Structure 1
């Protein structure tokens, strides 16, 4: 098993591109690069915490003061979780360049529980789910041999398609409204995509690695020049903000109400497995998945436990930043650690949070589309290493894509099924991964992929 460097032993500063015996994932870049590359991660994912809180606030009719409090709590937990995954103390966190964000499906489940019961029960369900992670993790860790490259590659491809669909919807707006398919918003998103690709083509070195950030900033400047940004609220309100512990009061623990989130936790573990293996491959670190994947999941569990205490839904590792790592080739986990510090500053400084929320969703969506599509290319690259001429592998991939894509491209396909079945059948990532695992067992008789799962050679 390869020896993982101690996070307490800080490596020397290494400029990007400089020759060094230190693994790129463990290199500490100059402070200016850490801040710029970290900011790039933050700006790409900042829309997720903001929109997640706005979704909860709008659905439940929360007061503005409580909404601001929840935004602060969400950014704080994302920042702390990102630091946890980057440094990995006490086997909590993968020591890989991960950023943590609120999970999309858990937000919907949180709102549903709150509407059916109350907010205290919803918070209690998040806490129960976090504890459930720890309970089932030893069993799940023994099943990692069922996740060879064909399963992980399929999962990454489905993650990419699902995220592109979600952010495409953010760009287009809600169907049936007056702003749906607004040419201005779509043009702004396409311009942002164009800027990003242009900068990646024209610039070299550090500027080329900052193409995603520069594309987002160029899109923001264009939006401001077109009068599509409102900065009036940035200076309004208090300067410092701090989240409140138990903002809804003492949690109530109802095991039946928590069932949807408990089921999702298994799906989340599958996603965390794919993301961990993918990030490790991108940064060039040989890992023992039986050690590192549980580290990732423990980090998810601990931060989600904090989410239950601060009134948010589950906070989990994000596949969204994998594309940035691949696009920029900046593999240092200290960059995401810098992103974690920036997220904490945003959580505590209200104007920074309001400034981030002022960036038009079309700009953020355009940037995200590029990054998420890159995740798909990573899945394709991983599948390229699988012999798809072999009949069994061909049917494993075909079956997994069929079951995974159906609920993504045909929303509501299973809407007339029982709610419990909809939770799994309607989740393309879950169905695609589950189908890939089952079919791989049927056709390949549990031939684990040593490159993805086996311990690294000594």
Structure 2
């Protein structure tokens, strides 16, 4: 590969294998807790035995890896070829529990397979909505992503949501603060390769401190199997229920909105503009990965927003780093002992690193909004209302508890609700269309310029 596209500063940059592994492991550690949370929730809701829970977790990790490789490496018109790590969408949890309790787990997988196929087929049509995501909308969505992820880090730092000692165990908070300080010191004084590994260094040293304090428990590693084979249709052939399929399709429509925001955010961070063609490829990868998830006893897949912040913190833009994460995830799915080792990282340590990662997403959104004009237009109100709506589930998690199930799918995720409001307000305030202006300068005449949406990057109208 040429020097022009080598190293960490280019989306297509290639690195030596040891560096790929180290940077890739950093991404895996950042997303692991979120990756295994969904299979645990589903197994508990359906009262599955422990051996089925383990199978769900290993199948999920394996499919996360496959989905990440599809998205980062791509083939043909599938995959955005950007550093997006894939994981199970939390938007699917509620509908999957309802389907499983009303029917069985094979009906869940039937709905997932149909929803994945639907997403794959409608991707090129949905991608045309890229014109509804000017800088004021994308900057708002990036900020919303960071704000809505921050409570995850805070809950980790307090010892984990649901913990009886949440917030009251000063040791947890001390471990989180120590990890956070390690990340800052490494980021400030580490040079080159080490500086880019600030999050990984923080997680490793934070876990070491937890071991010294007697917090980390590695007993589960000894009880885990060495090898686990992912078997397609392990729970039986999928069954198809119309209402279940429709509910999962609605979930995937929500996922496509989130994926659009995430991919545009990553594209801005790594200096690779995301246009209609690129967005269609990203969404096709989501659809194909979700279909594969239904076959391999896993779940719907989308981009993991927390890893967007990691890219911003580390400044490692190479998609091959995230592809290495995909390989690591596949290995974790095949070798449960490795997965058990990663699972031993205390929540408090993850929280300390998470504050830096998710805060960086907020900073990236603010930087994007800094390029937007707020004079003589409605952009300030657009940003204000969108962020305000996105924070409702954070301020009052049960606010939408009595809404219809379909409305809860849309509204209980602050990222989804805020993103939809931002898009709708942009249409209300700024409209849909644009006019073509003939430039007198022949050098610039080939470009069509927005007269109403000032500040759009060229890739929105080329």
**Which position in structure 1 is the counterpart of 2:199?**
212
Structure 2 distance, partners of 1:263, 1:408, is 23
Please tell me whether residue 155 in structure 1 is matched to residue 141 in structure 2: yes
Deviations 1:241-268 (A, max 9, x none): 1112112211111121233322221221
1:59 Cα shift?
Answer: 2.0
1:62 Cα shift?
Answer: 1.5
Instruction: State which of 120, 123, 129 in structure 1 corresponds to 2:115.
Output: 129
**What SS does structure 1 have at the residue aligned with 2:87?**
strand
Please tell me whether residue 261 in structure 1 is matched to residue 248 in structure 2: yes
Please tell me whether residue 285 in structure 1 is matched to residue 272 in structure 2: yes
1:428 Cα shift?
Answer: 1.8
Structure 1 distance, partners of 2:102, 2:89, is 20
Structure 2 distance, partners of 1:170, 1:252, is 37
Structure 1 distance, partners of 2:112, 2:67, is 16
Please tell me whether residue 454 in structure 1 is matched to residue 441 in structure 2: no
**Which position in structure 2 is the counterpart of 1:270?**
257
Instruction: State which of 321, 338, 363 in structure 1 corresponds to 2:307.
Output: 321
Return 443-452 or 249-258, whichever deviates more: 443-452
Instruction: State which of 97, 102, 108 in structure 1 corresponds to 2:88.
Output: 102
Structure 2 gaps of 5+ residues are 433-451
**Which position in structure 2 is the counterpart of 1:239?**
226
1:155 Cα shift?
Answer: 1.2
**What SS does structure 2 have at the residue aligned with 1:327?**
helix
**Which position in structure 1 is the counterpart of 2:214?**
227
Deviations 1:351-389 (A, max 9, x none): 101111111122123222221111111111111111123
Deviations 1:299-342 (A, max 9, x none): 11111111111222212112221111111111111111111111
Contact 2:5–2:12 (CA under 8 A) maintained in structure 1: no
Say if 1:95 and 1:11 are closer, same or farther in 2 by CA, change over 3 A: farther
Give the number of equivalent residue pairs: 441
Contact 2:88–2:301 (CA under 8 A) maintained in structure 1: yes
When the two structures are superposed, what TM-score results if normalisation uses the length of structure 2?
A: 0.90
**Which position in structure 1 is the counterpart of 2:438?**
none
Please tell me whether residue 24 in structure 1 is matched to residue 15 in structure 2: no
Instruction: State which of 57, 61, 64 in structure 1 corresponds to 2:43.
Output: 57
Structure 2 distance, partners of 1:65, 1:360, is 23
1:40 Cα shift?
Answer: 0.9
Deviations 1:214-255 (A, max 9, x none): 011111001111111111221334311111211221111112
1:175 Cα shift?
Answer: 7.0
1:179 Cα shift?
Answer: 2.1
Say if 1:176 and 1:329 are closer, same or farther in 2 by CA, change over 3 A: closer
1:33 Cα shift?
Answer: 1.1
Q: Any residues of structure 2 matched to 1:438-449 within 5 Å, and which?
A: 438-446=424-432, 447=452
**Which position in structure 1 is the counterpart of 2:398?**
412
Contact 1:96–1:279 (CA under 8 A) maintained in structure 2: yes
1:437 Cα shift?
Answer: 1.5
Return 260-269 or 214-223, whichever deviates more: 260-269
Structure 1 distance, partners of 2:175, 2:458, is 39
Structure 1 distance, partners of 2:116, 2:287, is 5
Structure 2 distance, partners of 1:235, 1:24, is 41
**Which position in structure 2 is the counterpart of 1:7?**
none
Structure 1 gaps of 5+ residues are 1-9, 18-22
1:408 Cα shift?
Answer: 2.6
Please tell me whether residue 434 in structure 1 is matched to residue 440 in structure 2: no
Say if 1:176 and 1:67 are closer, same or farther in 2 by CA, change over 3 A: closer
Contact 2:6–2:15 (CA under 8 A) maintained in structure 1: yes
**What SS does structure 1 have at the residue aligned with 2:219?**
coil
1:270 Cα shift?
Answer: 1.4
Say if 1:176 and 1:138 are closer, same or farther in 2 by CA, change over 3 A: closer
Q: Any residues of structure 2 matched to 1:186-197 within 5 Å, and which?
A: 186-197=173-184
Contact 2:289–2:301 (CA under 8 A) maintained in structure 1: yes
Please tell me whether residue 367 in structure 1 is matched to residue 373 in structure 2: no
Structure 2 distance, partners of 1:167, 1:116, is 34
Structure 1 distance, partners of 2:140, 2:87, is 22
1:78 Cα shift?
Answer: 0.9
Instruction: State which of 333, 342, 359 in structure 1 corresponds to 2:319.
Output: 333
**Which position in structure 2 is the counterpart of 1:4?**
none
When the two structures are superposed, what TM-score results if normalisation uses the length of structure 1?
A: 0.91
Instruction: State which of 19, 22, 25 in structure 2 corresponds to 1:33.
Output: 19
Structure 2 distance, partners of 1:167, 1:61, is 28
Structure 1 distance, partners of 2:323, 2:351, is 24
**Which position in structure 1 is the counterpart of 2:449?**
none
**Which position in structure 2 is the counterpart of 1:357?**
343
Return 75-84 or 237-246, whichever deviates more: 237-246
Please tell me whether residue 201 in structure 1 is matched to residue 207 in structure 2: no
**What SS does structure 2 have at the residue aligned with 1:29?**
coil
**What SS does structure 2 have at the residue aligned with 1:214?**
helix
**Which position in structure 1 is the counterpart of 2:444?**
none
Please tell me whether residue 301 in structure 1 is matched to residue 287 in structure 2: yes
**Which position in structure 2 is the counterpart of 1:73?**
59
1:450 Cα shift?
Answer: 3.0
Deviations 1:253-303 (A, max 9, x none): 11212333222212211111111122112112234x101111111111111
Q: CA RMSD in A?
A: 2.1
